[in-house]
């Protein structure tokens, strides 16, 4: 996910936190602080699902995406 502060120069900084939801449960968050026009890409590199099958992943209020975890061979 990429977050961008669309404010014009001289306007306020964006300070926020974006929560990560795995299967509807809050799993972590990242704090962001962006100057006007600045953007930042958010990612969570160590996310894992313990069980195979369909799972949902969402960031903040954005719609959830479905991911399929294949069982180990």
Q: What is the pLDDT of residues 1-59, one digit of tens each?
A: 777 778 776 667 777 888 999 999 999 898 888 888 888 888 888 888 889 999 999 98
pLDDT in tens, 17-31: 889 999 999 998 988
Upper half-sphere CA count for residue 62 (Cβ side, 13 Å): 15
Query: In Å, what is the CA distance from 8 to each residue of 20, 33, 35, 57?
Result: 28, 15, 9, 32
The pTM of this model reads 0.74
Residue 61 in tokens: 């209020």
Q: What SS3 class is residue 69?
A: strand
Question: What is the reported pLDDT for 9?
Answer: 66
pLDDT score recorded for residue 23: 95
């Amino acid at each position: 996910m990429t977050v961008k502060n669309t404010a014009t120069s001289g306007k306020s900084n964006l300070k926020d936190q974006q929560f990560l939801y795995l299967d509807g449960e809050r799993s972590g968050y990242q704090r962001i602080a962006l100057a006007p026009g600045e953007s930042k890409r958010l990612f969570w590199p160590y996310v894992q699902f313990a069980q195979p099958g369909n799972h949902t992943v969402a960031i903040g209020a954005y719609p959830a995406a479905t991911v399929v975890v294949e069982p180990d061979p």
